[in-house]
Structure 1
């Protein structure tokens, strides 16, 4: 009860203050207050990065109804703006979009999307959020479409637009990277005994097809 009462007083959590929390799972979180929403009892803290990189920070969303202890280690001294409320509508929209994207991915798999298409989609979505499936086709920014077999020639859209040119470059680089990876796996595979055995047995079928080729040439 005391925690909730404390959470209802926004002055306890001025932006820029250093706050330490202990969750009901006995996990301790200490960081700088970025935002506080008294309606949802959500406190957002910026903490040093767990990776140790000084240029990065971890951001924790703390539900104060699940906290056993809260202490303000240092109050913010500079004049600050009122705490920002969480944009719940934006968060809900993001969740809905992710659910829709999962549904589209299932639809794409049901439409028989090849592994190449799936790999290209993952490559695109590493840097571009606005990519989705329409059946077996990948649609980026609602303007550029990539259809099977997902090569640069299969990129369709306004050819003079930046979006089209950028996506075409992404597809070209992805295709080269995949070809290089496949070539390196072939080289490593050729050194294995099973691959050598397979290679040595391959002349049989090749010579067997030669009479057929000669016969075809004669008939022409």
Structure 2
């Protein structure tokens, strides 16, 4: 009888195509009903077989998460105390699955997420999108801080100024405080600014003078000789 049940459940095979299918994603599917149970799943493209607890199934990301950590040695132990070794598998990679053990569930709960143990919280999609947008903004800001087609020294000068003052690139020009320009070849003499911005010019000049002084001091520093150990045997 148990074998018949397994064959019936294993009969639901996910069609290998992108996007959720009824056999995979909806509340009537056997895979959805297996959330919280131990399953054996075969995955494309190399027919890899994973065995573990089906943690969740998501028709937003079109994927499942399976915990392949061994079941607790004590059958009475709660699944919430089970160690985690999670794998994310897209629907399109699922070839077949088989139910090999009933999962721990809330008494009287129906199939799916609500009765699964450990409990599965809803994913805050808005928070995820906000985090994604913030990451994109930070990446764009970081990329904007890198000069295009400029020398290594020009970038070092930009970085030195930007640590103190608002700085951005405008093609090959360094723009400071939206007023002062540092033009190629990025010397103190190449600082330009309109009338009335003398204070900003003085700040940029001081930073650049300190930068060149540090660079000159580093270049004049004598190299440290590495001691050579005496040869054995004379």
TM-score, normalised relative to structure 2: 0.39
Structure with more of its chain in helix, by fraction: 1
TM-score, normalised relative to structure 1: 0.41
**Max Rg structure:** 2
